Amino acid sequence: MTMNWDDLRVFLAIAREGTLRRAAASLAISQPTAGRRLNALETSLGVPLFSRGHGGLNLTAAGTALLPTAEAMEKTAAELTRQSGHLAEPAGGMVRISAMEWPAAFLASEVTSAREHELAIEIVSSERTESFARREADLAIRHGLPAAGNFVTRKVGTMRSAIYGSVSYIEQHPEALGESRFVSCDWILFTEEQAHYKSMRWLEERLRGKRPVARVTTTDLVHTSIAAGAGLGLLPCFIGDRDPRLRRATGPIDMLTADYWIIVPPEIAGLPYLRRAIDWIAARFKAEAVSLRGPD
Protein backbone atom coordinates (compact mmCIF):
# COMPACT_ATOMS: atom_id res chain seq x y z
CA MET A 1 0.00 0.00 0.00
CA THR A 2 1.38 3.42 -0.99
CA MET A 3 0.22 6.59 0.74
CA ASN A 4 0.20 9.86 -1.13
CA TRP A 5 1.88 12.67 0.83
CA ASP A 6 -0.64 15.21 -0.50
CA ASP A 7 -3.43 13.06 0.95
CA LEU A 8 -1.64 12.96 4.31
CA ARG A 9 -1.23 16.75 4.26
CA VAL A 10 -4.99 17.06 3.92
CA PHE A 11 -5.48 14.56 6.74
CA LEU A 12 -3.20 16.60 9.03
CA ALA A 13 -4.90 19.86 8.11
CA ILE A 14 -8.34 18.44 8.91
CA ALA A 15 -7.09 17.00 12.20
CA ARG A 16 -5.78 20.45 13.15
CA GLU A 17 -8.58 22.63 11.78
CA GLY A 18 -11.59 20.43 12.52
CA THR A 19 -13.49 21.04 9.26
CA LEU A 20 -12.92 20.48 5.56
CA ARG A 21 -13.51 24.15 4.83
CA ARG A 22 -10.87 25.43 7.22
CA ALA A 23 -8.43 22.68 6.26
CA ALA A 24 -8.81 23.51 2.57
CA ALA A 25 -8.29 27.21 3.29
CA SER A 26 -5.13 26.50 5.29
CA LEU A 27 -3.71 24.54 2.34
CA ALA A 28 -4.95 27.00 -0.30
CA ILE A 29 -6.94 24.30 -2.12
CA SER A 30 -10.65 23.92 -2.80
CA GLN A 31 -12.95 22.14 -0.35
CA PRO A 32 -13.95 19.49 -2.94
CA THR A 33 -10.27 18.74 -3.56
CA ALA A 34 -9.70 18.32 0.17
CA GLY A 35 -12.71 15.99 0.35
CA ARG A 36 -11.47 13.88 -2.56
CA ARG A 37 -8.02 13.51 -1.01
CA LEU A 38 -9.49 12.46 2.33
CA ASN A 39 -11.71 9.91 0.60
CA ALA A 40 -8.73 8.57 -1.35
CA LEU A 41 -6.70 8.15 1.84
CA GLU A 42 -9.53 6.44 3.71
CA THR A 43 -10.13 4.13 0.72
CA SER A 44 -6.45 3.18 0.49
CA LEU A 45 -6.33 2.43 4.22
CA GLY A 46 -9.73 0.73 4.29
CA VAL A 47 -10.83 2.55 7.47
CA PRO A 48 -12.57 5.86 8.26
CA LEU A 49 -10.21 8.42 9.77
CA PHE A 50 -12.84 10.91 10.92
CA SER A 51 -16.35 10.74 12.26
CA ARG A 52 -18.74 13.37 10.97
CA GLY A 53 -20.65 15.41 13.53
CA HIS A 54 -22.43 18.72 13.83
CA GLY A 55 -19.28 20.35 15.20
CA GLY A 56 -17.07 19.19 12.33
CA LEU A 57 -14.79 16.20 11.82
CA ASN A 58 -13.38 14.24 14.75
CA LEU A 59 -10.58 11.71 14.62
CA THR A 60 -11.59 8.08 14.88
CA ALA A 61 -9.40 5.55 16.67
CA ALA A 62 -7.72 4.80 13.33
CA GLY A 63 -7.18 8.50 12.67
CA THR A 64 -5.69 8.99 16.12
CA ALA A 65 -3.33 6.07 15.51
CA LEU A 66 -2.25 7.50 12.14
CA LEU A 67 -1.64 11.03 13.45
CA PRO A 68 1.90 10.54 14.91
CA THR A 69 3.08 8.82 11.71
CA ALA A 70 1.66 11.60 9.54
CA GLU A 71 3.30 14.25 11.73
CA ALA A 72 6.63 12.44 11.49
CA MET A 73 6.31 12.33 7.71
CA GLU A 74 5.45 16.03 7.68
CA LYS A 75 8.57 16.79 9.70
CA THR A 76 10.73 14.67 7.40
CA ALA A 77 9.28 16.26 4.26
CA ALA A 78 9.75 19.76 5.67
CA GLU A 79 13.30 18.94 6.66
CA LEU A 80 14.11 17.64 3.18
CA THR A 81 12.65 20.80 1.69
CA ARG A 82 14.55 23.01 4.10
CA GLN A 83 17.87 21.26 3.66
CA SER A 84 17.61 21.20 -0.12
CA GLY A 85 16.69 24.87 -0.05
CA HIS A 86 19.59 25.77 2.21
CA LEU A 87 22.09 23.71 0.26
CA ALA A 88 20.97 25.30 -2.99
CA GLU A 89 21.03 28.86 -1.66
CA PRO A 90 23.72 31.22 -2.93
CA ALA A 91 25.95 33.04 -0.47
CA GLY A 92 23.29 35.69 0.08
CA GLY A 93 20.54 33.19 0.96
CA MET A 94 17.67 34.39 3.14
CA VAL A 95 17.78 33.50 6.85
CA ARG A 96 14.51 33.72 8.77
CA ILE A 97 15.13 34.75 12.38
CA SER A 98 12.42 34.52 15.02
CA ALA A 99 13.30 36.78 17.93
CA MET A 100 11.59 38.08 21.02
CA GLU A 101 10.65 41.75 20.82
CA TRP A 102 13.77 43.33 22.30
CA PRO A 103 16.39 41.31 20.38
CA ALA A 104 14.24 41.67 17.24
CA ALA A 105 14.32 45.47 17.64
CA PHE A 106 18.07 45.36 18.30
CA LEU A 107 18.85 43.24 15.23
CA ALA A 108 16.60 45.43 13.07
CA SER A 109 18.80 48.37 14.05
CA GLU A 110 21.89 46.42 12.98
CA VAL A 111 20.81 45.08 9.58
CA THR A 112 23.27 47.13 7.54
CA SER A 113 26.12 45.11 9.03
CA ALA A 114 24.56 41.87 7.74
CA ARG A 115 25.88 42.72 4.30
CA GLU A 116 29.43 42.23 5.53
CA HIS A 117 28.49 38.60 6.26
CA GLU A 118 26.82 38.13 2.84
CA LEU A 119 23.46 37.68 4.52
CA ALA A 120 19.88 38.48 3.63
CA ILE A 121 17.80 38.29 6.77
CA GLU A 122 14.14 38.17 7.65
CA ILE A 123 13.31 39.14 11.25
CA VAL A 124 10.07 38.01 12.84
CA SER A 125 9.19 39.53 16.22
CA SER A 126 7.52 36.69 18.09
CA GLU A 127 7.05 35.39 21.61
CA ARG A 128 5.67 32.02 20.51
CA THR A 129 7.57 28.86 19.67
CA GLU A 130 7.86 28.64 15.91
CA SER A 131 7.92 25.28 14.15
CA PHE A 132 11.37 24.64 12.73
CA ALA A 133 9.92 21.59 10.95
CA ARG A 134 7.48 23.76 9.00
CA ARG A 135 10.24 26.31 8.33
CA GLU A 136 8.51 29.07 10.21
CA ALA A 137 12.03 30.03 11.30
CA ASP A 138 15.61 28.95 10.64
CA LEU A 139 16.81 30.00 14.06
CA ALA A 140 15.30 31.61 17.15
CA ILE A 141 16.53 34.04 19.79
CA ARG A 142 14.91 33.45 23.15
CA HIS A 143 15.21 34.55 26.77
CA GLY A 144 16.54 31.31 28.25
CA LEU A 145 17.01 27.79 26.97
CA PRO A 146 14.21 25.60 25.57
CA ALA A 147 12.59 23.32 28.14
CA ALA A 148 12.50 20.35 25.77
CA GLY A 149 13.90 19.17 22.46
CA ASN A 150 17.33 18.68 20.94
CA PHE A 151 18.85 21.99 19.82
CA VAL A 152 22.18 23.65 19.27
CA THR A 153 22.28 26.70 21.55
CA ARG A 154 24.60 29.64 22.03
CA LYS A 155 24.35 32.43 24.56
CA VAL A 156 24.77 35.73 22.74
CA GLY A 157 24.29 38.45 25.29
CA THR A 158 22.48 40.23 28.07
CA MET A 159 19.98 43.06 28.01
CA ARG A 160 18.99 45.29 30.90
CA SER A 161 16.19 47.78 31.25
CA ALA A 162 15.54 50.94 33.24
CA ILE A 163 12.68 53.30 33.98
CA TYR A 164 12.52 56.27 31.62
CA GLY A 165 10.52 59.43 31.27
CA SER A 166 10.71 62.30 28.84
CA VAL A 167 13.09 65.12 29.78
CA SER A 168 10.14 67.49 30.15
CA TYR A 169 8.09 65.05 32.23
CA ILE A 170 10.90 64.46 34.71
CA GLU A 171 11.57 68.22 34.96
CA GLN A 172 7.91 68.73 35.83
CA HIS A 173 7.78 65.68 38.14
CA PRO A 174 11.07 65.52 40.10
CA GLU A 175 9.50 62.80 42.27
CA ALA A 176 10.15 60.51 39.27
CA LEU A 177 13.75 60.29 40.45
CA GLY A 178 12.82 58.84 43.86
CA GLU A 179 11.02 55.80 45.20
CA SER A 180 7.75 57.72 45.44
CA ARG A 181 7.61 57.58 41.62
CA PHE A 182 5.55 54.41 41.77
CA VAL A 183 2.57 56.09 43.44
CA SER A 184 3.16 59.72 42.43
CA CYS A 185 3.81 59.49 38.69
CA ASP A 186 1.86 58.47 35.61
CA TRP A 187 2.76 55.11 34.07
CA ILE A 188 2.68 53.39 30.70
CA LEU A 189 2.29 49.61 31.00
CA PHE A 190 1.70 46.67 28.71
CA THR A 191 -1.84 45.35 28.37
CA GLU A 192 -3.36 43.01 30.92
CA GLU A 193 -2.87 40.10 28.46
CA GLN A 194 0.88 40.70 28.92
CA ALA A 195 0.74 40.96 32.71
CA HIS A 196 2.64 37.66 32.99
CA TYR A 197 5.84 39.32 31.72
CA LYS A 198 8.47 39.41 34.45
CA SER A 199 8.89 43.16 33.96
CA MET A 200 5.16 43.76 34.35
CA ARG A 201 4.94 41.61 37.47
CA TRP A 202 7.84 43.58 38.94
CA LEU A 203 6.14 46.90 38.17
CA GLU A 204 2.67 45.86 39.32
CA GLU A 205 4.09 44.87 42.72
CA ARG A 206 5.40 48.40 43.16
CA LEU A 207 2.43 50.25 41.73
CA ARG A 208 0.14 48.58 44.29
CA GLY A 209 -3.00 48.80 42.22
CA LYS A 210 -2.35 52.27 40.79
CA ARG A 211 -4.02 52.56 37.39
CA PRO A 212 -1.67 53.36 34.50
CA VAL A 213 -2.42 56.32 32.27
CA ALA A 214 -2.31 53.89 29.32
CA ARG A 215 -1.74 50.25 28.42
CA VAL A 216 -0.16 49.33 25.09
CA THR A 217 0.93 46.17 23.34
CA THR A 218 4.52 46.75 22.20
CA THR A 219 7.77 48.30 23.36
CA ASP A 220 7.58 50.71 20.40
CA LEU A 221 4.29 52.04 21.75
CA VAL A 222 5.68 52.31 25.30
CA HIS A 223 8.61 54.26 23.84
CA THR A 224 6.37 56.58 21.83
CA SER A 225 4.11 57.29 24.82
CA ILE A 226 7.02 58.02 27.13
CA ALA A 227 8.68 60.30 24.58
CA ALA A 228 5.38 62.20 24.21
CA GLY A 229 5.47 63.01 27.93
CA ALA A 230 2.65 60.70 29.00
CA GLY A 231 4.50 59.26 31.98
CA LEU A 232 7.14 56.76 33.06
CA GLY A 233 7.74 53.28 31.72
CA LEU A 234 10.25 50.47 31.36
CA LEU A 235 12.44 50.36 28.27
CA PRO A 236 15.51 48.35 27.29
CA CYS A 237 18.58 50.52 27.84
CA PHE A 238 19.71 50.25 24.22
CA ILE A 239 16.50 52.02 23.19
CA GLY A 240 16.05 54.47 26.05
CA ASP A 241 19.66 55.64 26.25
CA ARG A 242 19.81 56.40 22.54
CA ASP A 243 16.82 58.75 22.55
CA PRO A 244 17.77 62.34 23.54
CA ARG A 245 14.10 63.04 24.33
CA LEU A 246 14.31 60.61 27.26
CA ARG A 247 15.98 60.62 30.63
CA ARG A 248 16.57 57.72 32.99
CA ALA A 249 14.63 57.79 36.23
CA THR A 250 16.63 54.81 37.52
CA GLY A 251 19.78 52.90 36.75
CA PRO A 252 19.56 49.52 35.01
CA ILE A 253 17.39 47.16 37.06
CA ASP A 254 19.40 44.02 37.80
CA MET A 255 16.30 42.01 38.75
CA LEU A 256 15.05 42.39 35.17
CA THR A 257 18.30 41.35 33.48
CA ALA A 258 17.55 39.11 30.48
CA ASP A 259 20.03 36.66 28.95
CA TYR A 260 19.40 35.72 25.32
CA TRP A 261 20.26 32.53 23.46
CA ILE A 262 20.34 31.47 19.82
CA ILE A 263 18.45 28.21 19.27
CA VAL A 264 18.97 26.18 16.08
CA PRO A 265 17.91 22.66 15.03
CA PRO A 266 21.05 20.50 15.02
CA GLU A 267 20.45 19.14 11.53
CA ILE A 268 20.97 22.58 9.94
CA ALA A 269 23.24 24.28 12.47
CA GLY A 270 26.36 23.48 10.44
CA LEU A 271 25.13 24.82 7.11
CA PRO A 272 27.49 27.59 5.96
CA TYR A 273 25.15 30.53 5.74
CA LEU A 274 23.34 29.54 8.95
CA ARG A 275 26.76 29.64 10.59
CA ARG A 276 27.30 33.12 9.15
CA ALA A 277 23.96 34.24 10.54
CA ILE A 278 24.81 32.88 13.99
CA ASP A 279 28.23 34.53 13.90
CA TRP A 280 26.70 37.84 12.78
CA ILE A 281 24.16 37.84 15.62
CA ALA A 282 26.83 36.97 18.18
CA ALA A 283 29.17 39.65 16.81
CA ARG A 284 26.51 42.37 17.00
CA PHE A 285 25.58 41.44 20.57
CA LYS A 286 29.26 41.49 21.54
CA ALA A 287 29.97 44.80 19.81
CA GLU A 288 27.02 46.49 21.55
CA ALA A 289 27.35 44.71 24.90
CA VAL A 290 27.76 47.98 26.84
CA SER A 291 24.71 49.65 25.32
CA LEU A 292 22.63 46.47 25.70
CA ARG A 293 23.47 46.19 29.38
CA GLY A 294 23.20 49.94 29.90
CA PRO A 295 26.02 51.77 31.68
CA ASP A 296 25.45 51.89 35.44
For residue 83, tell me if it sits in a domain.
Answer: no
Domain's final residue, options 76, 106, 133: 76
β-strand partners of 23 = none
Q: Lowest-pLDDT range, 91-95, 113-117, 194-198, 290-294?
A: 91-95
Domain of residue 204, residue span: 161-256
What CATH number has the domain bearing residue 54? 1.10.10.10
Last residue of a domain, one of 41, 76, 111: 76
Residues 186, 205 within the same domain: yes
Same domain, 99 and 226: no
pLDDT of 86 higher than 70: no
User: Both 147 and 261 in a single domain?
Assistant: yes
82 in a structural domain: no
- What's the predicted TM-score (pTM) here? 0.67
The candidate with the shortest Cα–Cα distance to 292, out of 228, 218, 240, 247, is: 240
- Are residues 269 and 237 located together in one domain of the fold? no
Does residue 147 belong to any structural domain of this protein?
yes
pLDDT above 90: residue 221: yes
Count of structural domains, the chain: 3
Highest mean pLDDT among 92-101, 115-124, 250-259, 266-275: 250-259
Judge whether residue 5 has pLDDT over 90: no
CA neighbours closer than 13 Å in the CB half-sphere of residue 174: 0
| Residue-level pLDDT at 144 | 84
